[in-house]
């Protein structure tokens, strides 16, 4: 059985997160009408955050042991930091009442940027591991 690749899983999960954030920010009212309002719920946001942190940390630790570079770690910190800012610095509305506000647009931009940063983290981490060819190496960037 092939071992699960945390970076592939993380890249997929982060992409789903970015799409979720984009759809939630742009079409919150439509999601509710379509019966998909749970996608924009606060518990769903915490699930996405929890998965991102858990899978990301596991991939980060595994990757760092192989490539010894801090570059992926900084990208990961940027992505998670943006998710945390998005979660706690912007007012929450899960009923569509703030969709047209500037704050909602800013929250969507921060959310999508965070998701894309996490996708980038996983891709960079995976690429650096492959460049090591299974050996411990150090990237001097």
- For the cut 80, the answer to whether the pLDDT of residue 79 exceeds it is yes
- Can you read off the two tokens belonging to residue 64? 């760092």
Q: Mind listing the pLDDT tens digit for each residue in 92-130?
A: 555 444 444 567 778 878 888 888 898 898 889 988 988
Q: Token pair for residue 40?
A: 């924009």
And the tokens for 10? 């993380």
Domain range annotation of the chain: 6-132
| pLDDT at position 105 | 78
| 38's tokens | 């749970």
Report whether pLDDT(31) > 60.
Answer: no
State how far the Cα of 82 lies from the Cα of 84, in Å rounded to an integer.
Answer: 5
pTM over 0.95? The answer is: no
């Amino acid at each position: 059985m092939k071992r699960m690749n945390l970076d592939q899983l993380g890249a997929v999960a982060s992409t789903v997160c970015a799409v979720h954030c984009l759809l939630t920010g742009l079409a919150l009212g439509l999601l509710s009408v379509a019966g998909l309002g749970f996608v924009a719920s606060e518990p769903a946001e915490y699930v996405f955050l929890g998965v991102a942190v858990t899978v990301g940390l596991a991939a980060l630790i595994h990757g760092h042991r192989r490539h010894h570079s801090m570059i992926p770690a900084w990208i990961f910190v940027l992505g998670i930091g943006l998710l945390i800012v998005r979660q706690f610095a912007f007012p929450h509305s899960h009923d569509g009442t703030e969709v047209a506000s500037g704050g909602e647009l800013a929250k969507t931009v921060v959310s999508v940027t965070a998701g894309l940063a996490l996708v980038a983290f996983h891709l960079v981490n995976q690429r650096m591991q492959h460049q090591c060819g299974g050996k411990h190496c150090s990237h001097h960037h």
